[in-house]
Structure 1
Amino acid sequence: MHSEIIKTVEFERPIMSPLSSGASCTAQAWARVPSTPTPQEKEVLKARIKRLLKEQKAVLVAHYYVDADLQDLAEETGGCVSDSLEMARFGRDHPAQTLVVAGVKFMGETSKILSPHKRVLMPDLDATCSLDLGCPTDEFTAFCDAHPDRTVVVYANTSAAVKARADWMVTSSIGLDIVAHLHAQGKKILWAPDRHLGGYIQKKTGADMLLWHGSCLVHDEFKGIELGLLRREHPNAKILVHPESPQDVVDQADVVGSTSQLIAAAQNLDADEFIVATDNGILHKMRMAAPGKRFIDAPTAGNSATCKSCAHCPWMAMNGLQNLADVLESGRNEIHVDADIGRKAIISIDRMLNFAADRKANTRPISDLSKEEKLFSGIGPA
Structure 2
Amino acid sequence: MSETLRIAFVYDVIYPWVKGGVEKRIYELARRLIKRHDVHIYGYKLWDGEDEIEREGIVYHGTIRPQKIYSNGRRSIFPPILHALKLIPLFKNEKFDVIDCQASPYFPAYSSKAGATFGDSKLVITWHEFWGKYWLNYLEKLGIFGQVVERGLFDLTDNHVVVSLKTKRDLYDAGLRKNIFIVPNGIDFERIQKVKKADLESDIIFVGRLIKEKNVSLLLNAVKVIKREIPDVRILIIGDGPERKVLENLSKRLGISGNVQFLGFLESHDNVIACMKASKVFAFPSLREGFGIVVLEANASGLPVVTVNYNMNASSDLIIKGKNGFVSELDEKDFAEKILTALENRRKMKNAAINIASKYDWEEIVRKLEKYYKVNLDF
Q: Same fold (TM over 0.5)?
A: no
**TM-score, normalization by structure 1:** 0.32
TM-score, length of structure 2 as denominator length:
0.32
Q: Which has the larger radius of gyration?
A: 2
Point out which structure has higher relative CO (alpha carbons under 8 A, 6+ apart): 1
